[in-house]
Amino acid sequence: MSSTADFTTSQRWRYAIKPASWPKLLVPTILGQAVGIVVAGGLSIPALLLGLLFTLLNGTFIVLLNDWGDREVDTLKRRMFPHSCSPKTIPDGILPARQLLVAGAAAGLASVLVAFLLGGLMERPWLGPLGALCALVFVAYSLPPVALNYRGGGELLEALGVGLLLPCFHAYAQSGVFWAPEWWLFPGFVALSLASALASGLSDEESDRAGGKRTLATAVGNAATRRTLEVVVLLAALLWLLAGSWVPALPLWAMVPAVLIVLVHGGVMLRVSSQATTGAFAAQGVYKRLLHRGIWLGALLVAAALLVASFRGLL
């Protein structure tokens, strides 16, 4: 019997929304807010609070409907690895598919409404459409008829949504402008988001291949995927270092801690990389935790450096 069988209703919903994965959206939210605050020269409380609400609703939409869209492949994975992978929301009966579909769709609609509300309140005419685009990118990623995570290219779309659109949404919410030199901080984060998306396919390689999903891992295998994402991490560190020369708000030295965090975690990843082979779920988990820790700590350091430099009058 699954260890989730005795969950209360609230525990089932908490499990379904996967709180451990939320830094993947909260970190780009913080990065985008920091960029917007510096560009605007001050903090907007409505943009901060309603922007956070947008992220929470958008994240709920993504998590629930991703499980709904992947229910067949998740069922297949549980059959293939009944003792090696964590319980899945729908296949393990934690919540029925219909409840996830309804709740996820409602959260997605609410996120778009919040984006339009914030856009009207802050006189940001493009904020509503940008919020809708954030939702549509996920729809194209996971849901039919497009479902790029089944056709190929899903990792690139995830990098675009998490690494660029979400921080740009928050930067625009705070500042009201679509471009400033501080935007040069985003390409490095896009690269890190791509590395994260590629890593996500490692633990699902065999079940994704059996279920017909096309990811880099199913196309070229585990080892080539690891080599690719490790190069992408190095590229991201280089882009962030270059951004220190392109962003007037930051002296070059201010980017060094974030770059070092990424490189140190990347170096440890390389040391354990040979263990994160196909089917080695525990080793893959260590490998991905190192990657995510480097991404999240690095991005938070970038946001902190930007805010500190701004408030110390280094603009």
Determine the Cα–Cα distance for residues 9 and 193; give it in Å rounded to an integer: 33
In a 13 Å sphere around the CA of 194, the CA atoms on its Cβ side amount to 22
Q: How confident is the prediction along the chain (315 residues), in pLDDT tens digits per residue?
A: 346 778 899 999 999 999 999 999 999 999 999 999 999 999 999 999 999 999 999 999 999 999 999 899 888 888 888 877 788 999 999 999 999 999 999 999 999 999 999 999 999 999 999 999 999 999 998 888 888 888 889 999 999 999 999 999 999 999 999 899 999 999 999 999 999 999 999 988 998 898 888 999 999 999 999 999 999 999 999 999 999 889 887 888 889 999 999 999 999 999 999 999 998 999 999 999 999 999 999 999 999 999 988 776 544
Concatenated DSSP letters for 141-207? HHSTTT-HHHHS-HHHHHHHIIIIIHHHHHHHHHHS-S--GGGGGHHHHHHHHHHHHHHHTTTTHHH
CA angle at residue 283 from 280 to 289, to 5 degrees?
135
Coil, helix or strand for 167?
A: helix
State the maximum Cα–Cα separation within the chain, in Å, rounded to a whole number: 60
